[in-house]
Structure 1
Amino acid sequence: MNQISFMNDSGITLRGVLQPASPDKLVIMCHGFRGNRSSRGRFDRLATTFQNLGFSVLRFDFGGCGDSDDRPLTLAGETEDVRAALTYASRLGYDQIALYGHSLGARVSLEAFDPTLVKTMILTGAGTGPVSYDWSEEFTQEQLRELQQTGAFTHPVTDPYRTKIVITRQMLADFEQFNQKTLLSQVTCPTLIVHGTEGEEATLMPLTKQGMRWLPKGSRLEIIDGAPHDFLDYMDDIEQLTSAWLCEHF
């Protein structure tokens, strides 16, 4: 496992790890909202599995997360980060890339899709269509007042590299202000989307069901009955589905 860093177009240094195996096939893993490259252990486990299957794996922290440079969180910023990761991977000689995104990382993967490099995508807990969240259930009244007054607020995180992140008003708005058809129709590679049925997944999964018509031929939706958005107790299922997909489509 190699510690790596690269810079996006805005001059933000992004840090992560590269687990080498194949010289030309690379899986880039994109973590979720408020997360980091470990993704609560999910990405650590899956990256080792994919590497053992013969695929190189790159995991990195979005700007403002984990060990990467500080920056307020925005969808545009994270999309820029994934594009920078694709450029970095290409310069290393990887010309066949799979994007793996969980939760917000899935949305960012869709936004950053590059048909010249990305051969397949795997998305778990994806927000493929607009969702209106009640943010008062996620954040304190003090945080929401700070958001109202300044356009952003600080949020504590449990992370080996940082104690807080900064979330912008636009970041929250981007969960509900986009067009599903436009987002999905730009994808030209076979895409696997995995959803559960409980909690937040009960909202996200039907949205993906209605949007599958805009994804290319060969794409597939897999539903894990009983699984919540974090999939932590269903990692055996996730590992089996995603490994089989990579071996078949990559």
Structure 2
Amino acid sequence: MEKINFNNSRGLKIVGNLYGVGSKTLIIMAHGFTNNKLSNGRFDSLAEDLSNIGYDALAIDFSGCGESDDDAITSKNQVDDLNSAIDFALSKGYTKIGLFGNSFGTLACLRSYRKEVITMVLVGALTDRMDYDWNDYFSQKQMNDLHTQGFFYLGTDRMHKITKQTLMDFKEINQKELLRNVDCSILIFHGNNSEDEEEVQLLERSKRAINMMKHNSRLEIIKNAKHGIRNDWDKVIEITCDWYSKYIE
């Protein structure tokens, strides 16, 4: 594994882990909300198996996360980061790009689609608007700071800047507009554990979304799994590697 960095269009440094085996195909991995390029070890294990089937992999820290430069966590910023990662990959001679997104990172994947992207795999996909009661997720002080100054910081080792737009990004998704110009095969993973209300809602939205997707796109439901599918990650890896082997060529 090699640590690399490049700049996004805003001049900020984006840091990534590049797992190289000399391939001309690169899978770029986009982490979830306030996570980082390791994704709690899930991206490391996925990259290892992608290497075993002959693909390079690049896991990036979105701006404001991990080791990348500070910025607010918003969908617009993450789309810029991911597009900059694709530009970086093309400048390094990669000829085929696949995307892998987890949770909030899936929105950036869908919004970053371009002709160089051959296929994408999305786990816990965000394909339509979600309405959260943010008081259930953040403290009263954080919500007060959001109201009075327009942002608050979340985290311990790395402080993540959460703005009003950050939270609006979950609501300002129009499924038809989001998917209209995405012209590649897509594999979507969801769990269906009834105790995970968020994942159940995301799954229902993806059931509608899959009917708008092209090129034999598929919805894969992992029985009893919760958001992130942490306990069945080996199954996600196996199916993902089979998918890329089929559609990346």
TM-score (normalizing by structure 2): 0.96
Letter in 1 for 2:84: A
Kept in 1, the 8 Å contact 2:66–2:158? The answer is no
**How far apart are the structure 2 equivalents of 1:163 and 1:172?**
19
Structure 2 unaligned blocks of 5 or more:
none
Counterpart for residue 94 of structure 2: 94
What secondary structure is seen at the aligned counterpart in 2 of 1:17? strand
Q: Which amino acid aligns with 1:148?
A: H
Aligned to 2:149: 150
Give 1:219's aligned residue. Answer: 217
Q: Give the Cα separation in 2 of the matches to 1:182 and 1:208.
A: 14
In structure 2, distance between residues paired with 1:168 and 1:75: 11
% identical equivalent positions? 38
CA distance in 1, matches of 2:114, 2:240: 21
Unaligned runs of 5+ in 1: none
Q: Residue 231 of structure 2: which of 226, 230, 233 is its match?
A: 233
**Partner Cα separation in structure 2 for residue 128 and residue 178 of structure 1:** 8
Equivalences for residues 73-88 of structure 1 within 5 A: 73-88=73-88
Query: Match for 1:128: what amino acid?
Result: T
SS of the residue aligned with 1:57? strand
Q: Which residue of 1 aligns with 2:12?
A: 12
Equivalent residues of 1:23, 1:93 under 8 A apart? no
Partners of 1:26 and 1:218 in 2: CA distance: 21
Corresponding letter in the other structure for 2:183? T
Partner letter of residue 114 of structure 2? D
Matched to 1:180, the amino acid is: Q
- Which whole-Å CA distance do the structure 2 matches of 1:152 and 1:99 have between them? 30
Query: How far did residue 2 of structure 1 move?
Result: 1.1
2:132 is the alignment partner of 1:133: yes
What is the distance in 2 between the residues matched to 1:163 and 1:236?
A: 28
TM-score, length basis structure 1: 0.96
Task: Return the letter of the residue paired with 1:245.
Answer: W
Offset at 1:52? 1.2
Matched length: 245
State the superposition RMSD in angstroms.
0.9
CA–CA distance in 2 between the matches of 1:171 and 1:127? 14
Alignment match, 2:24? 24
Separation in structure 1 between the aligned mates of residue 207 and residue 171 of structure 2, nearest angstrom: 17
Superposed CA deviations along residues 219-239 of structure 1, whole A, max 9, x for unmatched, are: 101001100002111112111
Distance in 2, Cα, partners of 1:81 & 1:182: 21
Secondary structure of the corresponding residue to residue 34 of structure 1: coil
Counterpart-to-counterpart distance in 2, 1:206 and 1:21: 38
Summarize deviations over 1:100-129 as a string: whole Å, max 9, x none: 0000111110011112x1000000001101
1: CA distance, partners of 2:100 / 2:5: 19
Change in CA separation of 1:22 and 1:214 when aligned onto 2, cut-off 3 Å: farther
Question: Which amino acid in 2 is paired with 1:56?
Answer: D
Moved over 4 A (4+): none
2:159 is equivalent to residue 186 of structure 1: no
Q: 2:70 corresponds to which residue?
A: 70
Q: Provide the rounded CA distance (Å) in 1 between the counterparts of 2:22 and 2:4.
A: 17
What is the deviation of 1:22?
A: 4.1
C-alpha distance in 1 between matches for 2:120 and 2:150: 33
Q: CA deviation at 1:95?
A: 1.4
